[in-house]
Amino acid sequence: MLEISIIPALTDNYIYLLHEPDSGLTAVVDPAAAAPVMAASQRCGFGLNYIFNTHHHSDHIGANLELKAATGCKIVGAKADRSRIPGIDIALGDGDRIALGAEELVAMDTPGHTVGHIVYYSAGSSALFCGDTLFSLGCGRLFEGSAEQMWHSLQKLKTLPAETKVYCAHEYTEANARFALTLEPGNPLLQQRYADVCQRRRSNAPTLPSTIGQELATNPFFREHSPEIRQNLALAEASPLAVFTAIRKLKDGFR
């Protein structure tokens, strides 16, 4: 079972420190900055063996080369985005696996936010490290990919076990919840989740991880089937992809 620590960075990024206690091996997911990673690893008494990158944006790979120079760690990233991951040593495609001691993580291609985005799923630890593909109550903007690509990527994640913990890369949950309530205000689980999120943020506590089960019940990007959402969008008979595309366009303009 992985020991997972949340490291806040920049204004709203989360970096994840993964430690496998039997082997003593440690990885970091999407290091935006080196200093908080080094401080956390030193505080815990860990070295650093791997960097797992989900995509090439600077707030996810910004510390790659500094951490590699300091620790000799290996950098893991998407085969499809090899040319944009600084210092990459191990390139993974859809379904490829990498071991962190006794724990195995599988890479899943999830284009949409970027064309070369991947996520890492650990069945043994019931954990998903999903970068900017899936957010708590949201999903990533379509900077490079299409709505259809993102929709198909999210369909993969919807099939994971409901208890899977969702470790995304940003603290966007409160704003995402406010948007979700404009589409599905009658969802009692969403109402309760918003109240819980606001309480956490008032004490500056992370709203993560969520779970796949929570996202299925409350995340509008997982709920194209909702009659209330469809009615509010005047898309009662539209395809799931058309509903998803409309939700994504609305979210782009939401403030």
Which amino acid is residue 10, in one-letter code? Answer: L
Decide if 94 is catalytic.
Answer: no
pLDDT tens figures, 10-56: 999 999 999 999 999 999 999 999 999 999 999 999 999 999 999 99
Decide if 55 is catalytic.
Answer: yes
Banded pLDDT at 164 (limits 50, 70, 90): very high
Q: How far is residue 142 from each of residues 24, 115, 139, 180, measured CA to CA in Å?
A: 37, 9, 9, 18
Decide if 132 is catalytic.
Answer: yes
Any idea where the domains of the chain sit in the sequence? Answer: 3-252
Q: Around Cβ 8, how many Cβ atoms within 10 Å?
A: 14
Decide if 225 is catalytic.
Answer: no
Q: Which of 19, 30, 56, 59 is catalytic?
A: 59
Query: Residues comprising the binding site?
Result: 55, 57, 59-60, 113, 132, 170
Banded pLDDT at 127 (limits 50, 70, 90): very high
> Could you tell me how many helices (H) and strands (E) the chain has, helices first?
9, 14
The third-level CATH classification (topology) of the domain covering 3-252 is: Metallo-beta-lactamase; Chain A (3.60.15)
pLDDT averaged over the chain? 97
As a whole-number percent, the residues of the chain with pLDDT over 90 amount to: 100
Spatial contact of 60 and 53, defined as CB atoms under 8 Å apart = yes
Residue 45 CB partners (closer than 8 Å, separation 6+): none
Closest C-alpha to 67, from 29, 99, 98: 29
- Cα 47 from Cα 32, distance rounded (Å): 18
Q: Which of 55, 56, 81, 117 is catalytic?
A: 55
pLDDT over threshold 90, residue 255: no
pLDDT tens figures, 186-202: 999 999 999 999 999 99
pLDDT tens figures, 199-238: 999 999 999 999 999 999 999 999 999 999 999 999 999 9
- Cα 20 from Cα 98, distance rounded (Å): 13
Interval 82-111 mean pLDDT: 98
pLDDT over threshold 90, residue 82: yes
Question: What is the predicted pLDDT for the residue at 232?
Answer: 98
Report pTM: 0.97
**Cα-based torsion angle of the residue sequence 145, 151, 156, 162 in order, rounded to the nearest 10 degrees:** 130
Q: Which of 19, 56, 113, 117 is catalytic?
A: 113
**121: phi then psi, degrees, rounded to nearest 5:** -120, 130
Question: What is the predicted pLDDT for the residue at 76?
Answer: 98
Decide if 19 is catalytic.
Answer: no
